[in-house]
Amino acid sequence: MKRMQWLQSKILPHSHLIKLTINRTQEGDLMQLNLEQKKLIQMEPAGHCLIKGVAGSGKTTVAVHRIPYLMDHYCYEKEDQILLVTFNKTLLNYIKYLYDKVENPESQLGMAEIMNQEVKVDIRTIDSIVFKYYRRICSRDEIKIASNTEKYRLMSKAIHLLGERENTPKVIHQKNTRFLLDEVEWIDACLIDTLEDYQQVDRIGRASNMMEKTPQKLLKNSEVRRAIYELKELYQQLLEKEGLADFRQMNREALKAPVKKEETYTHIIIDESQDLTKAQLEMIKRMHRPKQYASITFKPEGQSLWFMDEERRK
């Protein structure tokens, strides 16, 4: 709920919400467009539209077929472009598969035709987008992404170094390495810039995997949070010393890079977006070109699909 409220208030604040639902399609008809899907595909942009659907209800199919409809009806200018963002590098092949299997009207464009149209359609992973803009501002000639093994090793080292200091809270312990690494990455993903901000942010239920006799939540304005934030800074110093970059940090730094006008999109569709961080959402927001007929389509938590369209200016 909080993520939905943030999306509505930060990405496109001047919009309204419409709720629609996709029901599960009958077995054997998963690759055919039903009436509900066709209605959603051809829906006129008119503010936020939340489409709820259970797994297998065809939400990705709706998103894929939304592309040619937007091209035909809501790309009026030569500068209008469409971006499909995903976490899966094989999504393009899956999209082609959908286009081969769905029941297409004669006027429906195939994927090969879409990619050759005057309206530019880009299909990118969120990581490739972040890396592009991070590379733009990074002073290093070569960027090496830290592996999970390297991150775990350096976090263990940071825990050891911090643990040697006096009055270090018991939570800073090797048994909690995974928890502490997750917490440090969460801080970066949420664009928390200062210890003061971290001390005040709500953080409940993050201590369940820690060793016994540790708090079940990270109390605000506590020594535990101060130590974790100090651990974060130490960990990042170790990464930098070894010439490594962490994707969460890259997301954060990428937001400092300029986005050229020709790199913005009138329509953005995000597949599997339930794992988007605040930093990644901000990156996508910066790539969006606000227009009267512009839109952002994405799936938040709960396997739902959001159509976020800028409210019409009167």
Give the domain ranges of the chain.
2-103+118-138+264-298, 147-245
Cβ-in-10-Å burial (0-12, 13-18, 19+) of 117 comes to: middle
Question: Residue for token digits 């472009």?
Answer: 81
| CA-to-CA separations, 113 to 75, 269, 295, in angstroms, rounded | 16, 18, 22
Compute how many other C-beta atoms are within 10 angstroms of the C-beta atom of residue 298.
Answer: 23
Please tell me the predicted confidence (pLDDT) of residue 14: 41
| pTM (two decimals) | 0.76
List C-alpha distances in Å: 90 to 34, 86, 122, 127, 180: 25, 9, 14, 14, 32
pLDDT at 164: 94
Burial category of 239 from C-beta neighbours within 10 Å (exposed 0-12, middle 13-18, buried 19 and up): buried
Q: Max alpha carbon distance in the chain (Å)?
A: 73
Q: 206-239 pLDDT, tens per residue?
A: 555 555 455 567 899 999 999 999 999 999 999 9
Predicted local confidence at residue 98, as pLDDT: 65
Q: How far apart are CA 65 and CA 84, in angstroms?
A: 12
Report residue 232 as tokens.
Answer: 């974060």
- 149 or 103: whose pLDDT is higher? 149
Distance (Å, whole) CA 52 – CA 303: 7
Domain 2-103+118-138+264-298 is of which CATH architecture? 3-Layer(aba) Sandwich (3.40)
Least confident of 11-15, 69-73, 75-79: 11-15
Q: How confident is the model at residue 311 (pLDDT cuts 50, 70, 90)?
A: very low
What would the mean pLDDT of 83-111 be, rounded to a whole number? 62
- Mean pLDDT on 240-246: 93
Average pLDDT rounded to a whole number, residues 228-255? 94
Provide the phi-psi class of 57: left if phi over 0, else alpha when psi is between -120 and 50, else beta.
alpha
Phi, psi of 292 (to 5 degrees): -60, -30
Cβ-Cβ contacts under 8 Å for 200 (sequence gap 6 or more): 220, 221
Decide if pLDDT at 300 tops 90.
no
What pLDDT shows up at residue 304? 41
Question: CA neighbours within 13 Å on the CB side: how many for 277?
Answer: 20
Ranges 97-111, 118-132, 183-197, 200-214: which has the least confidence: 97-111
Average pLDDT over the chain, rounded to an integer: 77
